[in-house]
Amino acid sequence: MTPPDNQTRALQRIRADVRAMSAYHVQPAQGLLKMDTMENPYRLPAALQQQLGAHLGSLEINRYPGERLEVLKQMLADYAGAPAGTAVLLGNGSDEIITLLALATAQPSEGGRATMLAPMPGFVMYPLSAKLQGLDFVGVDLTADFDLDVPAMLQAIAAHRPAITYIAYPNNPTATLWAEDKVQAVIDAVAAVGGLVVMDEAYQPFASRSWITRMQADPARNAHVLLMRTLSKFGLAGARLGYLIGPSALVNEIDKVRPPYNISVLNCETAIFALQHESLYAEQAAAIRAERQPLIDALAALPGVATVWPSEANMVLLRVRDAAHAQAQMKARGVLVKNVSAMHPLLANCLRLTVGTAQENAQMLAALKESL
């Protein structure tokens, strides 16, 4: 028998579950209208592009990041309205923060592994991070109309005593912003088992409310709650900057597993520049929100669209007769959208569309109408 070659033998050193996985796939978008990843469609005005370019060009990129990271943390705390006694952790996008949270909590629990829990369908990075960092993942199905199933959540929390419970607020891919009393019931249940709650507010610029108000009003009741956000939907998807706000005692422990210098000088200064022009980004978010309901109404009027759900994010979820066919036909017409059917049985034949500019939305609607 021929012995395995060096590469084959070396591959066996990589975890079997990793070898069985598929890598996160990003659709090639060259020459296409990209409406599949909920990006802010607006670029900086030319004058601000020049200012930012000159500023970045003057930086000492031969030096490691330094004290300016503390300036950015304070600006983010001020922007979010962080309560007294909180700290801020920075991540290379919120994806890295999800990884750090899993890494920090991946310890044996009552004779087994620590557990992560989240409503499903939800963000794909929650179960992926649990798997890679050695936590058990428990998904609790939403109701048929994508509401939070509070009795099922409370039962699962009591049974599994999760180390981390994620609440995406609003949720991805359903764009749902669950009622405060339902979310509070989940938060209280997690407190009873001694776990962390992470409020994932990636889509906060487009939502009608934030959990930060509850953290401000009742810090004791939210002493185990961490608020996670990203500047990706704010308008800096290319800069990769996420942040976590929470009680200093908790955030400082998570910070211990953060790689040193995980935020580059360029990313840091880009984020500071954006926050210095926060009013411009607020105008952009308002413009996107203004386009959302007209888009939903137009989608609901299309023959072949079975259901369009309400949205509190810069995305819209809808059900069609054949999502795979519709997605392929739209791509052939130059428009990329996301087919989320495979993510969860509740998402059968569902497409997720980004809310863009009026022109982008019109082009997307025309392609969808021809594709159904």
In our burial notation (b when 16+ CB lie closer than 10 A, e otherwise), range 73-101 reads bebbbeebebbeebbbbbbbbbbbbbbbb
Q: How far apart are CA 132 and CA 129, in angstroms?
A: 5
Order of strands across the sheet that contains 338-339: 305-308, 315-320, 350-354, 338-339
Q: How far apart are CA 327 and CA 199, in angstroms?
A: 31
Q: What is the mean pLDDT of residues 121-145?
A: 96
Predicted model pTM: 0.94
pLDDT, tens digit (0-9, with 9 covering 90-100), for 74-119: 999 999 999 999 999 999 999 999 999 999 999 887 778 999 999 9
Q: What is the mean pLDDT of residues 9-22?
A: 87
User: Which residue in this structure is represented by tokens 């159904």?
Assistant: 372
Q: How far apart are CA 50 and CA 292, in angstroms?
A: 31
pLDDT, tens digit (0-9, with 9 covering 90-100), for 37-57: 999 999 999 999 999 999 999
**In contact, 269 and 59? CB cutoff 8 Å:** yes
Q: In a 3-state reduction of DSSP, which class is residue 299?
A: helix
Nearest Cα neighbor of 132 from 87, 155, 109, 99 is 99
DSSP state of 166: E
CB atoms within 10 A of CB 283: 11
Tokens of 194: 């001694």
In our burial notation (b when 16+ CB lie closer than 10 A, e otherwise), range 160-199 reads bbbbbbbbbbbbbbbbbbbeeeebbbbbebbbeeebbbbb
What residue ranges define each of the domains in the chain, with the CATH number in brackets? 26-46+279-371 (3.90.1150.10), 63-276 (3.40.640.10)
Q: How far apart are CA 248 and CA 157, in angstroms?
A: 25
Distances (CA, A) of 110 to 81, 113, 117, 156: 37, 8, 16, 16
Residue 19 has pLDDT above 80, yes or no: yes
Q: pLDDT value at position 25?
A: 74
More confident residue, 83 or 4: 83
State the pLDDT confidence band at 122, using cuts at 50, 70 and 90: very high
DSSP calls for 48-102? HHHHHHHHHHTS-TTS---THHHHHHHHHHHHHTPPTTEEEEEESHHHHHHHHHH
Q: What is the mean pLDDT of residues 116-133?
A: 96
Tokens of 284: 């952009």
DSSP state of 233: I
**Out of 171-175, 230-234, 264-268, least confident range:** 230-234
Nearest Cα neighbor of 178 from 122, 138, 231 is 122
**In contact, 236 and 290? CB cutoff 8 Å:** no
Q: Give backbone dihedrals phi and psi of 156, rounded to 5 degrees, phi first.
A: -65, -40
Residue 339 has pLDDT above 90, yes or no: yes
Indicate the burial class of 352 (C-beta count within 10 angstroms; 0-12, 13-18, 19 or more): buried
Nearest Cα neighbor of 148 from 175, 183, 114 is 183
Q: What is the mean pLDDT of residues 265-275?
A: 97
Q: What is the mean pLDDT of residues 124-139?
A: 95
Nearest Cα neighbor of 291 from 318, 314, 319, 310 is 314
Q: What is the mean pLDDT of residues 56-73?
A: 95
Q: pLDDT value at position 271?
A: 97
Q: What is the mean pLDDT of residues 119-130?
A: 96
Q: pLDDT value at position 94?
A: 96
Residue 1 has pLDDT above 60, yes or no: no
**In contact, 329 and 296? CB cutoff 8 Å:** no
Q: How far apart are CA 354 and CA 316, in angstroms?
A: 7
More confident residue, 318 or 14: 318
Q: In a 3-state reduction of DSSP, which class is residue 136?
A: strand
Q: What is the mean pLDDT of residues 160-168?
A: 97
Tokens of 333: 């017409």
Residue 18 has pLDDT above 90, yes or no: no
Q: How far apart are CA 356 and CA 293, in angstroms?
A: 12
Q: How far apart are CA 164 and CA 173, in angstroms?
A: 20
State the pLDDT confidence band at 3, using cuts at 50, 70 and 90: low
Q: In a 3-state reduction of DSSP, which class is residue 219?
A: coil
Q: Give backbone dihedrals phi and psi of 111, rounded to 5 degrees, phi first.
A: 85, -5
